[in-house]
Structure 1
């Protein structure tokens, strides 16, 4: 019998709700994105108001598309964190209300782990090194002894934040996303601007690179030596090379051949191309998805919450809170215990 879960995601500028089955089937996954004018980012208060305005219509769309009723749902799953405080809290409040009205158990989900599990079920990746790249997170992760361990990460800002902030400098549109629009411009770039390349062991740093790009962009454009397309091309080539380097180092450390890219920046075709070349040279496979599952969505929360729910894990309503800081390696991935035994790790 297939068990169904309803998942709520609202940690950043997207409000998404999905219905997912225990067999990995995704019955619905609608979402709405808060888009700000060019040159502006999204602030917590305005983002929360956007989620409050759209959450009920997205919920209705999710149930209608999946052709289910609340009675068919086994549990309600929500993003506990990490993310922006006000948007997270807005969604959690709705989940708590629905849980009491519908008399359903709640499962709190780690946003980062949800990206990983959605990537695994969609691509079929078994035990890869994971590169998690988004607006708020940049981590190289591998599963070991019950948890997703972080082997490398950014020591300052996330790669998605770096791209977004550079897009503001060039007044690049935020529709559908600044990262996507940078990618399209970068495809037309021809001249490489040398930018700071900062890799420290297994970690990366983007703040210095961003500062340099911000301060030199106007000067280079004014002189006419470079185009916005060249600058976007140069930024992508530099930051993605850094990410490929630390991912390869993690592969060697963990003795794993395959890589899974998750998170919103993981949609970038150039990042996938660069990673595919590196992984291919190590006789491995690259697993990646498109924007349906890379970008924040409710289905990933529903599926990951359902994995925990089937192991008897629920969250009492008195503890159904949010936290902006919820580390990937804080979660015991109990649903992977049987896999661990099969891999001979126990």
Structure 2
């Protein structure tokens, strides 16, 4: 039967849940299981466009049809051009039948209509079997970065005089703006980090349920250090003002953040680092983090699908 592409609605949920359960995805531990569980419970909280590939076998959106694949365009910008991360999944027995390409074109078309210039996909080492799909559908490799993880080794830190640290989960527009300005300056040379605003910081903290350890200079009230963290084992970023690079502030906010992961029972957090970022690699080594693998990013212009 022909495949129909439809914008995801609540009517598709039973069929999608059944498909994901059959493949064991919603029962997976850690970030993978949480991703699918969140998609089912609140699909558009973190995602702006969702398209499902269904079997055309009945009237009404999603009713009486199996879901064979899904394409997702996320809300959080990625890349200096404020593109969007995308995710494609096709049921095991339905792969290599063109469904992925159909979903990629559908997501690209919707993102282009919203003014988003690029869709970005990422593969961990061990997922190289997806490269032919990416190259066949217009994606080009952008970068290959290191995955660095902590697995229970010792780490030490101490407070920095004149600085206060506190966990932050959003809700303060003034602090959001300060964090955004600080992060934009800290990552000014990083081409894969988008420009941030106070609103985007609030989205990260509230919609994505991330949290931050924020270091503030007592004398000035300036933000001088930030970690972005999550309630899974992903540790997105750490940044420290240049004048505090040799002060131990990175160890302090990183150690405080790691304390929270450990207290929550998360003993294997990981982060992504550029291979050429020697300062970050040296810092992580001091904190007993070690290389775990690689992640490769790919990009495709959405205009090709418009």
Higher relative contact order (CA 8 A, sep 6+): 1
TM-score range, shorter chain: under 0.3
Q: Under a length normalisation based on structure 2, what TM-score does the superposition of the two structures give?
A: 0.28
Structure having the larger proportion of residues in helix: 1
Structure having the larger proportion of residues in strand: 2
Q: Under a length normalisation based on structure 1, what TM-score does the superposition of the two structures give?
A: 0.25
